[in-house]
Amino acid sequence: MSVLSITGQELLDIVHKDIDDFSLDAGYYITDSTYAVPELVHMRTEVYHSFTKWLKFIGLDRKKGEKQFWHRKFDCENLASLYKSYCDLLHYKTNPLTFTENSKAKKKNKSNSEGLAVGTIWYDNNKASNPTTAHAINAIITQKPGQKELSVVYIEPNNGSQVSLTKKEKESIWYAKF
């Protein structure tokens, strides 16, 4: 099986398509040349479950009665960045061979893409009690169930749920990094 890989430009086009009124002031950072496309169900189940275990392992567990992983000094953008880094780490650990090693080895890497199509986005959360509350979550470029085309799925790293952003919220994105 060969793994689907998209270029940085293709990734940006998918993000572009998802947001009708693409804000030209927003900073979209595409830092790798190619991106492997992760499976959505796997991301939402096994990967998220392991992510929460990993948070506990590094000492960022929720205390009893607490709903959130974030704290005043380790809040939503820190958690979103950590989730992206964790997913990037899994991509590396799944494909640890260098280009030269991979060409010689019997057991090859699954994917040779430089990055994984998981990013972090910053936007104005209109659903919050304070309508001007800025929030950070994750965005995954993947295939939604039953669809052939790739699209953007937004994930709340605090609980692993899929988030639907309103048009206004999508347009308010001012920073995204993949």
Closest to another protein by CB, 162 or 166? 162
Tokens of 60: 């960022």
Stretch that binds another protein, among 2-10, 21-29, 62-70, 151-159 (CB under 8 A): 2-10
Smallest distance, another protein to C-beta of residue 26, A = 26
Q: Which residues contact 63 (CB under 8 A, 6 or more apart)?
A: none
CB 19 within 8 A of CB 171: yes
Smallest distance, another protein to C-beta of residue 50, A = 5
SS3 125: coil
Closest to another protein by CB, 29 or 57? 57
Q: Please give the order of strands across the beta sheet that includes 150-155.
A: 27-29, 175-177, 118-124, 134-143, 150-155, 162-163
93 near another protein (CB under 8 A): yes
Residue from the set 22, 54, 174, 175 that interacts with another protein by CB under 8 A: 54
76 near another protein (CB under 8 A): no
Closest to another protein by CB, 72 or 107? 107
CB 152 within 8 A of CB 140: yes
Q: Which residues contact 162 (CB under 8 A, 6 or more apart)?
A: 44, 153, 154, 155, 156
Interacting positions 127-146 with another protein (CB under 8 A): 142-143
SS3 149: coil
109 near another protein (CB under 8 A): no
Interacting positions 22-51 with another protein (CB under 8 A): 36-39, 42, 46-47, 50
Closest to another protein by CB, 152 or 173? 152
SS3 158: coil
Measured from the Cβ of residue 157, the count of other Cβ atoms closer than 10 Å reads 26
List interacting residues with another protein (CB under 8 A).
Answer: 1-5, 36-39, 42, 46-47, 50, 53-54, 57, 87, 89-91, 93-95, 110-111, 116, 142-143, 150
